[in-house]
Chain A
Amino acid sequence: MSLAVVIRSILSAAFLASVLRISTPLILPALGGLITDLSGAVNIALEGIMLVGAFTGVIVSAYTHSWVVGVLAGIGAGILISAVLAFFHLYLKTDVILAGIAINIIASGGTIFLLYILTGDKGSSSTLASKMVPNVNLPLIQDIPFLGQVISGQNIFVWLAFILTALTAVLLYRTRLGVHIRAVGENPTAAESVGINVRRTQLIALLLSGFLASLGGLDLSMAYLALFNRDMTAGRGFIALAAVYLGGRKPWGTLIAAVVFGLADALSNQFGSLNIPSQLVSMIPYVVTILALVVYAVRQRQIVIERARKFQERHMAEVAEAKAAND
């Protein structure tokens, strides 16, 4: 296949549509990662929560023959497991990173274990007739030549990802709870001193991230694919965490970062047909993340230096003023 063919396919509506599809299971958990990160905890259990959500959705939808029940059960399982994480972290004072690792291990092992019991297969749930969520067709927009192909006919999770990004932005910057979450993350002692219930705020943040991460998992197993594969999240929970930093810890920034990862992933699929090794292309998102960490860190440091400088200037001005008054 020639480069021209690859470029043409990259510029097609179908490619852009696929970027949206691939980005969705990153955007949703990344929003969850953002909320917990702002509340002062690094939720590395996103990966495990996604896996549990994906698994529960498939199993329940296969037995109830209803995608709605499957999705609801998946969400419930995701929230439940994040509640376990919250219980250990907030009430038993387990370190959140180690508890997160434990949750990831139990999710990976537990889903494979149960899959084997239910299907006799340790690889995938392909013998179960699980349901898929429906796609959303937009009556008028789907007739618009290019745009219609990109945004119409996407599954509901793609839509949810964008809607929930907007809602997360509102939650974090326009509501009391959002202010509390950010205050607790900034300085828990200060937050407590003004009467914010730190533990309850962090609990809500963790449960919200469980909700968002489980949606990401459900997208994988009930929309992106129509089955559960062992360890099917394949590190997306960690990439989502990285998207939070790449996006500068802001909702829309996080969404854009997640789409950048999705784009790199979609590109690596396309380049696979050229002679560029796909393993090397698929490294790009991770390299970008590390560069983003550096950029973010440098910027943070500049902000701190700037603040210190301003403070000093103000202080000097006050001193000069006092001196002038004394004279």
Chain B
Amino acid sequence: MRKALSIPSVRETLRIILAVLIALGLGFIITLLVSKDPLGAYQAFLAGPVSRLNRAGEWIKESITLTMLGLAVALVFKANLFSLGQDGQMQLGALVSGCVVLFVPLPGILRIPLALLAAGLVGYLWGLIPGYLKAHLSANEIVSTLMLNAIAGRFYEYVLVAFLKPPTAGYNVSAEFPPEGILPNFVPPFLTNLYQLFTQKANITIMVYIAIALVFVVYFIMFRTPFGYELRMVGANIKFARYGGVNTKRTIVQAMAVSGILAGLAGAHLTMGIHGRVITQITASLGFEGIVVALLARNNPLVVPFAALAYGYLRAGADIMERSSDVSREMVLVIQAIIILLVTAERILPMVQKTIADRRAAGTTQPAEAETAKGG
């Protein structure tokens, strides 16, 4: 046990599990205080997502979105860039995929890939802007991405109301997508009937395979390509990276833009996989969720889907709790915030003392570095 604890990754994992458990415990205390039937409410919260097949489907779909958002955040965070632009990129991805699906008269086998491609491309382009501003003008990426989110959100609502909304619609929604634009369910023929039943009842689309593929693609990019190496160098110590001959500007721009592809695809999943149309405020409550997932996964792409499943489970459970008890779903936001604080609070457990010592030894340059990053 003691030996296992000395391995940093084991310690990190334990720390994160502990943080989640503490947050869940605090959530239970809150439920005790406010609910007439706290046990029932918490049971709905914790067991709800697996109580029925269609609920499990909701959970999986939520986790697919979260996986892509988590990958998007992990990629920029790995480069030590605080891009918060996933929300805007996701909205534009949703919008563009919706436009392609609604207006491009192609058969489904071409229309769907085209829509996904367009969503990825618009995310890429929207990520180039803060990337360029950061790399070439050292403009603060937090402020620029927040502003770009606001612009994207307004543009989204404008196009939706002005061009996509049918005159007869009472709400701000587009027409329902034709079948050629809905992501199909896909069951590999060699799998068992049980799995077939699950994918159909739970409505699991091909996006699940795309998301899994993306996990490996991002892992490959991050750890097996020169770009990934440069990205990690920039994240570890940008001055050292520059000194070592890394084109840091290009790396920053590309990290932000490639991250945008993933967020754009998450947006396409919202329209083509979940809602089947373009709806108003489609990314509501999803804006910063990628950050939580990336934090839980410690920016490791291979861990992201598991973090997404775990966190998606909490979100799906909160929805069910709200429907079946007197506790509102916002409790999960409180749990979420506590998880972020506990996971990121470096000094909260004596277990991390060693990492701090390591950091102290490794980085007298780090404070100065943080300064230049903040000063921009």
Are A238 and B340 touching (Cβ within 8 A)?
no
Q: Which of B333-365 contact A (CB under 8 A)?
A: 333-334, 336-338, 340-341, 344-348, 356
Instruction: Looking at the assembled complex, report how far the CB atom of A194 sits from the nearest CB atom of chain B, in whole angstroms.
Output: 16
- Asked, given contacts A40-B374, A91-B347, whether A97 binds B142 with beta carbons under 8 Å apart, the answer is yes
- Inter-chain contact A280/B371, CB cutoff 8 Å: no
- Choose from A41, A189, A245, A296 the contact partner of B374 (Cβ within 8 Å): A41
**Chain A: minimal CB distance from B335 (Å):** 9
CB atoms of A109 and B334 under 8 A apart? yes
Interface string of B56-93 (1 = CB under 8 A from A): 00000000000000000000000000101000000000
**A109 lies within 8 A of B374 (CB):** no
A98 touches B344 (CB 8 A): yes
Task: Decide if B133 touches A280 in the complex (CB within 8 Å).
Answer: no
Within the assembled complex, what's the spacing in Å between the Cα atoms of A286 and B291? 23
Given contact pairs A93-B345, A99-B344, A283 touches B142 in the complex (Cβ within 8 A): no
A266-304: contact bitstring with B at CB < 8 Å (1 yes, 0 no)? 000000000001011011001101100110111011000
A92 touching B150, Cβ below 8 Å: no
Q: Of A113, A289, A301, which one neighbours B330 at CB under 8 angstroms?
A: A113
Q: Is B148 within 8 A of A110, CB to CB?
A: no
Task: For the complex, give the distance between the alpha carbons of A194 and B356 in Å.
Answer: 25
Are A95 and B133 touching (Cβ within 8 A)? Answer: no
The reply to whether B337 and A187 contact each other, CB–CB distance below 8 Å, is no
In the bound assembly, the distance between CA atoms of A41 and B139 in angstroms comes to: 15
Say yes or no: A110-B334 contact (C-beta < 8 A), given A94-B341, A280-B158, A294-B133.
yes
In contact, B345 and A283 (Cβ under 8 angstroms): no
Does B194 have its Cβ within 8 Å of any Cβ on chain A?
Answer: no
- Cβ 8 A contact of A298, one of B137, B151, B331: B137
Q: Which residues of A contact B333 (CB under 8 A)?
A: 105-106, 108-110, 113
CB distance from B155 to the nearest CB of A (A): 7
CA of A202 to CA of B143 in the docked complex: distance in angstroms? 21
> Shortest CB–CB separation between residue A293 and chain B, in angstroms?
4
B288 close to A (CB within 8 Å): yes
Q: Do A287 and B151 touch across chains, with their CB atoms under 8 A apart?
A: yes
Contact yes or no, B367 A42, CB < 8 A? no
A94 to B376, CA, bound (A): 21
Instruction: Contact check, A103 vs B138: say whether CB atoms are below 8 A apart.
Output: no
- Contact at A290–B374, with CB atoms within 8 Å? no
Interface residues in A184-231 by Cβ distance below 8 A to B read 187-189
Partner of B155, one of A91, A112, A279: A279
Q: Indicate the size class of the contact surface on chain B.
A: 35 or more
Nearest CB of chain B from residue A292's CB, rounded to whole Å: 10
Q: Could you say which residues of chain A place their CB within 8 Å of the CB of B332?
A: 109
Q: Is there a chain B Cβ closer than 8 Å to A102's Cβ?
A: yes
- The CA-CA distance from A165 to B140 in the complex, in Å, is 24
Does B32 make an interface contact (CB < 8 A)? no
Q: B367 to chain A: which residues have CB within 8 Å?
A: 188-189
Taking A97-B142, A279-B158, A298-B137 as contacts, is the C-beta distance between A92 and B346 under 8 angstroms?
Answer: yes
A286 interface neighbour in B34, B150, B162, B356, Cβ under 8 Å: B150
Which residue of B143, B291, B348 is within 8 Å of A242 (Cβ)? B143
Given A286-B147, A297-B133, A297-B376: A101 and B139 interface contact (C-beta under 8 Å): no
Alpha-carbon separation in the docked complex, A91 to B332 (Å): 26
Q: Report the separation of the CA atoms of residues A212 and B194 in the bound assembly, to the nearest whole angstrom.
A: 59
Residue A241 is within 8 A (CB to CB) of chain B in the complex: yes
Q: Does A252 have its Cβ within 8 Å of any Cβ on chain B?
A: no
User: Which residue of B34, B84, B147, B148 contacts A117 across the interface (Cβ within 8 Å)?
Assistant: B34
Q: Find chain A residues with CB under 8 A from B140 CB.
A: 42, 245, 293
8 CB contacts below 8 A, A to B, read A99-B341, A102-B341, A108-B330, A187-B371, A238-B150, A283-B154, A290-B147, A298-B137
Please list the residues of chain B having a beta carbon within 8 angstroms of any beta carbon in chain A.
30, 34, 82, 84, 129, 133, 137-140, 142-144, 146-148, 150-151, 154-155, 157-158, 161-162, 288, 291, 295, 328, 330-334, 336-338, 340-341, 344-348, 356, 367-368, 371, 374, 376
